[in-house]
Structure 1
Amino acid sequence: MPAIALALPSGGSAAAVPVAVLTAAVLHAVWNGLAHRIQDKLAGFALINLAYTVCAVVLVALNPLPAAAAWPYLLASVVLQVASQILLLRAYQLGDFGQMYPIARGSAPLLVAVLSVTVLGQGLGGGELLGVLVISCGLIGLALAKGIPGRAQLPALGAAAGTGVMIASYTVLDGSGVRHAGTVGGYVAWLFLLQGPSLALIAWARRGRGLFVGVGPVVPVGIVGGVLSLTAYGLVVWAQSRGSLAAVAALRETSIVIAALIATVVFRERLGRLRMTASATVLAGIAVLEFARP
């Protein structure tokens, strides 16, 4: 896997970064599974956001303030992360977990590669082009897992793809921002403190006092999901401050495989050969893309 490309400064353990990223991948797939399991998705996401907001308050008190140079990155990331949650929420409301999650996660590395050519004017080598093509084939397979998408499926697929756009964007921002912050803990704490209340307020504006009616039994699930979400991304940001941004971003997409297992075992979704093969193809393409980077 691309973990071999990760580099730590002298004095660090070379195994620490890949272990942290793989742990984050597991936690990320699990908290997304928990979010999807809550029948009322809007209330579920609101609970998760409120849970990690409380955790973030504690972390803000325990960590130094990020340096001034990091704040433009941090604030822009907050906007993109809130947008990604809104899109992911919509995708989970409309589609299957086993299909939406791989599209959302797998499209991000592909989009980074495409943007590097179309926006930044960077060329793709043969290996990188192969990786892009393999990821594209996998994503097409996922989109066609239930046959040619009809008009009813397009909103779910669009929301999942839009989530990937947001993920690609805030990954790059946070990878740069944390290196300017002077404190990983402070950066993560403020990131979650600022974004946490946003979705909860949006949900409250839509539902008012009825938002949390009848959700008592799933409050513990929301709390666990919030803690896992904060921990997972905190580990990723820590890894980004010490290792290769591209390799960290690629390695954490192993969560696609974990999500496929959750979809099968927990949600009893029939993934079928096509969807399983497509998920594995996306993961293989990500590995090819990152191995081929100069």
Structure 2
Amino acid sequence: MTLANLWILLGSACIHVVTHIALKRSRDRTAFVWWMLLFSGVLFAPVLVFAWQPIPWQGWALLIGSAVFEAAYFYAIAKAYQGADLSIVYPLSRGAGPTLLLVWSIVLLREPLTWGGALGVLTIVAGLYVVNLPRLGGWKEPLRALRLPSSRWALAAGACISLYTLIDKVGIGYVEPLLYTYLALWWSVVMLTPFTLREIGWGGLRAEWAYSKGWTMLAGFTSLSAYALVL
């Protein structure tokens, strides 16, 4: 990995944290996520003009498949933040993602397991465990915390991250990465809409927009920017 790539990854991580901070500050997380994705789709619409290309059926199939897990991720992360703080949900979801991604890559893509990869997974698992320690002597507490719905939602979000990332590794071989990401975002909006309306309705959406439109627009910019950087 070059120094430039390292800086890109660090920048993406910092931008991504901003998205989660904005999400945590919202009143209704489900409504916030919907508005965030919608605003992101409108904001980055020029992608359709400058990055458009003919897309083979394999590309469509992969980006729609990715969108299924992206929509599930946003739904799960919204549920997780309803019952837990950023300090718990963020490391659980973002840490579980690469751990499971390594497993899927070995099992499904037949990628070899390296010592560096194994060490990285162990480091992530250890970090997840330590960050959930309420105190130095409470070594059993993180395991008990997994009984909480918010922790399980965070882990579900991490599983979704690993699955859509796995699909994306193949998908960007068929579609230009920025266009791929943008179209997958819109499919995520389509898939989330019926669940969002069933839970809160248009009234809930209007109320959340009035309450946090500034944070929503910020998150709409950072959410797609962070992911597009690493692609």
Instruction: Report what 1:76 is aligned to.
Output: 65
Instruction: Report what 2:39 is aligned to.
Output: 51
Cα deviation, 1:217-267, whole Å, max 9, x if unaligned, reads: 311211121121111112222xxxxxxxxxxxxxxxxxxxxxxxxxxxxxx
Separation of aligned partners in 2, 1:54 and 1:133: 40
Please identify, of 145-154 and 64-73, the stretch whose mean Cα deviation from structure 2 is larger: 145-154
Aligned partner of 2:11: which letter? Answer: T
- C-alpha spacing 1:125/1:118, structure 2 compared with 1 (3 Å): same
CA displacement at 1:117 relative to structure 2: 5.2
Instruction: Report what 2:120 is aligned to.
Output: 131
8 Å contact kept, 2:95–2:125: no
- C-alpha spacing 1:66/1:231, structure 2 compared with 1 (3 Å): farther
CA displacement at 1:196 relative to structure 2: 2.5
Normalized against structure 1, the TM-score is what? 0.67
Instruction: Report what 2:27 is aligned to.
Output: 39
Instruction: Report what 1:160 is aligned to.
Output: 154
Aligned partner of 1:229: which letter? Answer: S
CA RMSD, Structure 1 to Structure 2 (Å): 2.6
Instruction: Report what 2:219 is aligned to.
Output: 225
CA displacement at 1:133 relative to structure 2: 2.6
Aligned partner of 2:183: which letter? Answer: W
Aligned partner of 2:184: which letter? Answer: L
CA displacement at 1:65 relative to structure 2: 3.3
Separation of aligned partners in 2, 1:119 and 1:193: 27
Please identify, of 161-170 and 66-75, the stretch whose mean Cα deviation from structure 2 is larger: 66-75
Structure 1, unpaired ranges of 5+: 5-13, 238-294
CA displacement at 1:52 relative to structure 2: 1.3
Instruction: Report what 1:192 is aligned to.
Output: 185
8 Å contact kept, 1:49–1:199: no
Separation of aligned partners in 2, 1:116 and 1:188: 20
Is it true that 1:175 corresponds to 2:169 in the alignment?
yes
- C-alpha spacing 1:170/1:66, structure 2 compared with 1 (3 Å): farther
Instruction: Report what 2:202 is aligned to.
Output: 209
Alignment coverage as a number of residue pairs: 224
- C-alpha spacing 1:180/1:120, structure 2 compared with 1 (3 Å): closer
Aligned partner of 1:105: which letter? Answer: R
Separation of aligned partners in 1, 2:77 and 2:111: 30
CA displacement at 1:31 relative to structure 2: 1.0
CA displacement at 1:122 relative to structure 2: 6.3
Please identify, of 220-229 and 17-26, the stretch whose mean Cα deviation from structure 2 is larger: 17-26
Separation of aligned partners in 2, 1:191 and 1:61: 16
CA displacement at 1:76 relative to structure 2: 0.8
Separation of aligned partners in 2, 1:122 and 1:193: 30
CA displacement at 1:94 relative to structure 2: 1.3
- C-alpha spacing 1:214/1:60, structure 2 compared with 1 (3 Å): same
Please identify, of 25-34 and 122-131, the stretch whose mean Cα deviation from structure 2 is larger: 122-131
Separation of aligned partners in 2, 1:133 and 1:224: 34
Separation of aligned partners in 2, 1:132 and 1:124: 11
CA displacement at 1:209 relative to structure 2: 2.8
CA displacement at 1:205 relative to structure 2: 2.1
Separation of aligned partners in 1, 2:118 and 2:19: 32
CA displacement at 1:82 relative to structure 2: 0.4
Separation of aligned partners in 1, 2:207 and 2:226: 28
Instruction: Report what 2:12 is aligned to.
Output: 24
